[in-house]
Structure 1
Amino acid sequence: MGRRQVIDPRVRAEVIATYGNTCWLGLPGCTVVGEEDDHIVPHSHGGKATVANIRRACKHCNASRQDRVLYGYGARLHMIVCPPGCDAVALDYITEHSRSVDPVVAYSYLADAMGVAAHESRAERVAVGMAWSAAYRSFTTCAEPLDVWCVRSFPSSRRHPRMLDEWLALDYDIHVMDMDYAEAWDHAVTEDERVLVRRWYSLHLSQALVDARQAARRARLTALGLRSDAASVASRPEW
């Protein structure tokens, strides 16, 4: 582990005077009050201890974030949330909006690559899920300006039960596939798949809900000097 970077007290004072001492991240479990200095571009990625690159964070959020990058300050993550069994619909959307060189993290792609059949055993499902999580975690800390497309049914996991809130905090691009219930039901073949479809719709996820929360978050990031325009795709300020 690299040596912890020392922040000049004058830099800290200017950050607080300019942007306040409220935690800039607001991840699940946030305690609100800024207790530590957090690098927007992580120190491990070459981020400097400057006013432009430091914001105040609570201890919980600073530790929870680790080296995950804010959208536009490294990899740009596009999270596609779709009902269970509807990966094909999400992948069609990705094909329409992505470039051929963009990485895609999708359960169905990983299952094919691992030679896992359509009606796999529980052990095989777990293995594919672990592969998805490993790829996702790798891209969340990627310093390169890649556009990464991730397909997921439930925006939660055992390790990250409030994954959607984390995506919003880090300004990921989020798209909810608002499919008709009957259409999603038709994709479900087994009873287990139907249970998952019912569970997904019980969450009442919608693009409108995500957009409203994202607008508020992006306005906050703009006020913090971390977005150039609250209504458009994030762009990294020059410094």
Structure 2
Amino acid sequence: MKKLGGGHEPTPMSDETQAKVGKRLDDVAKILAGALVAVAGIMTTLGLTSDIVFVALNNESWPIYVACLCAILAIVCSIVALLIRPTRRGNLWETIVLVLGVVFYMVALSVAVIGASKAAGGNGRPSITDVKLEGPRSDLKLTFTVHADGVDTWATIEVYGNAVTRHGDPLDGVADFYSSTLRPNDKGVVEQRITTPVVVPAKAWGIEVGAVVANGPEQCETLDQRGPTCAVIQLP
């Protein structure tokens, strides 16, 4: 019986056409199966080595976690798509699954770029190394190195040296014997070897040197990702 209004029933998809559509979808699924390889390739291209990855994960670099999770979800979608039978309804479900997989794949690649640039650039936290205190108390010389990676171009590292009591508290009314402001180079690196004479009062127990990120916390014991670094040396 002919339908009113001149409508036509849709032509059913042949088995051969369904198989061709299924093959094209399977090809997409196989591409998504390499999501982790693609993410790792982007990170490697941007200079993110395995050592830096471990440092980034230790510093809770969320983009790397998100990129890896999205890449795994893209692989899961590709596996599910490959297991769906190439029928008309199966091709529809496979298309839906692959669309989700492509979304996860693109998010993984995009976030990988953010994570790589963030991790490879360092965290901007300063460190003090190679501390040496030489000479008699009347003619002391202090030498140390300040280093920091990934410092923002507008930021500074404040370096100071002062006399402290046995408990590490600054002496009242005694100014710092050393103070400087360091800026990063074009690569965001601060590297400075400092040698300075030390003038301290007789009641001082030791000296403290520290490096503080601009606008960052100043307490040495603070639990902050960009907290300061401090070193206390007992006077001879």
Instruction: Considering fraction of residues, name the structure with more strand.
Output: 2
Tell me the TM-score range normalised by the shorter chain: under 0.3
TM-score, normalised to structure 2, is 0.23
- TM-score (normalizing by structure 1): 0.23
Report which structure shows greater RCO (CA 8 Å, sep ≥6). Answer: 1
- In our comparison, the structure showing a higher alpha carbon Rg is 2
